[in-house]
């Protein structure tokens, strides 16, 4: 029994060391409120302030989604990006570990990757940007209630001293959504960057879960791949496409190992 405990403890330490060595470094704005969900530094939230922000943000996101509907697509994209940025800024600099803010920050990150220059605009880019912004807003609304429960400790089971919230479930759903988007991207460099980010965020989100050891095979599989894969493409498009296929295969293999361990309890996003 002692040997088994030592083995489990050793696995946990190794996973932690590997993850800390390969954290996603945000390339976007440096303000701390834009880092939540991109990095994994953790500060306990100022609960009253953050709860108020979460409630206001849920309302603001619903109003934002409704208000852009009748507008031209370019205007919709610009207003969605500006609205999400404003909501994140209003949350303050505290790193809250809220899934809602993870989603919104990542939406801004993906949107910046898709942002085309005048000479590099590709067909469908506007649709892809609008899609990631609107889907992210809806997903943030979906996980708003689990965030409130996490902050208040109400309605979430406890394991020891840890709150058991749907972090792994979120990891799987978010990765699925992002990879579906990525499959429609025509520009190889952007597709590669988003696919790599998807793996990094999937790994990091799984590790945040209180049951992280149950997901060790998926975490370790992703880590092995990331250790030998650059974050940005360094080869011509044809070779980059081959690397993208390798990323997809790694993602699919990791998701396969999670099928029996991640139980979905949060209703699917409408």
HEC string for the chain: CHHHHHHHHHHHHHHHHHHHHCCCCCCCCCCHHHCECCECCCCCCCHHHHHHHHHHHHHHHHHHHHHCCCCCHHHHHHHHHHHHHHHHHHCCCCCCCCHHHHHHHHHHHHHHHHCCCCCCCCCCHHHHHHHHHHHHHHHHHHCHHHHHHHHHCCCCCEECCEECCCHHHHHHHHHHHHHHHHCCCCCHHHHHHHHHHHHHHHHHHHHHCCCHHHHHHHHHHHHHHHHCCCCCCCCCHHHHHHHHHHHHHHHHHHHHHHCCCCCCCCCCCC
Pairwise pLDDT comparison (223 vs 158), residue with the higher score: 223
| Residues 232-253, mean pLDDT to the nearest whole number | 91
Q: Which residues pair with 162 in a beta bridge?
A: 159
pTM of the prediction?
0.77
- 183: closest CA among 128, 238, 223? 128
CA gap 203, 174 in Å, rounded: 12
Please determine, for residue 2, whether its predicted confidence score (pLDDT) is greater than 90. no
Q: Which residues pair with 159 in a beta bridge?
A: 162
Which residue in this structure is represented by tokens 């309605």? 155
Length of the chain, please? 270
Distances (CA, A) of 159 to 163, 207, 230: 6, 16, 37
| Residues 119-141, mean pLDDT to the nearest whole number | 85
Tell me how far the alpha carbon of residue 81 is from its chain's centroid.
17
Residue pLDDT, tens place only, 208-232: 888 889 999 999 999 999 999 999 8
| Residues 95-104, mean pLDDT to the nearest whole number | 84
* Cβ neighbours around 94 below 10 Å, total: 18
Please determine, for residue 261, whether its predicted confidence score (pLDDT) is greater than 80. yes
pLDDT of 49 reads 74
Tell me how far the alpha carbon of residue 190 is from its chain's centroid.
17
Residue pLDDT, tens place only, 23-66: 433 344 455 556 555 544 434 445 677 778 888 889 999 999 99
pLDDT of 35 reads 58
pLDDT of 30 reads 52
Please determine, for residue 11, whether its predicted confidence score (pLDDT) is greater than 90. no
């Amino acid at each position: 029994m002692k040997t088994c405990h030592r083995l489990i403890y050793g696995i946990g330490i190794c996973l932690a060391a590997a993850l800390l060595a390969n954290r996603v470094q945000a390339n976007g704005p440096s303000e701390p409120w834009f880092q939540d969900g991109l990095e994994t530094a953790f500060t306990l939230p100022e609960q009253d302030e953050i709860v108020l922000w979460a409630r206001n943000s849920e309302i603001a996101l619903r109003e934002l989604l409704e208000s852009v509907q009748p507008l031209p697509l370019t205007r919709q994209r610009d207003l969605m990006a500006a609205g999400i940025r404003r909501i994140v800024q209003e949350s303050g600099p505290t790193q809250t570990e809220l899934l809602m803010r993870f989603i919104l920050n990542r939406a801004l990150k993906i949107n910046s990757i898709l942002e085309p220059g005048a000479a590099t605009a590709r067909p469908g880019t506007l649709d892809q940007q609008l899609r990631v912004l609107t889907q992210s807003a809806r997903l943030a609304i979906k996980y708003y209630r689990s965030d409130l429960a996490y902050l208040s400790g109400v309605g979430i089971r406890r394991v020891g001293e840890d709150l058991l919230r749907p972090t792994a479930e979120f990891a799987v759903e978010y990765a699925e959504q992002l990879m579906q988007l990525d499959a429609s991207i025509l520009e190889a460099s952007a597709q590669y960057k988003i696919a790599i980010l998807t793996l990094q965020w999937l790994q990091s989100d799984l590790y945040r879960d209180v049951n992280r050891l149950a997901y060790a095979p998926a975490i370790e599989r992703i880590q092995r791949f990331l250790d030998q894969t650059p974050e940005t493409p360094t080869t011509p498009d044809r070779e980059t496409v081959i690397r993208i296929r390798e990323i997809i295969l790694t993602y699919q293999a990791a998701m396969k190992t999670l099928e029996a361990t991640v139980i979905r309890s949060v209703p699917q996003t409408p």
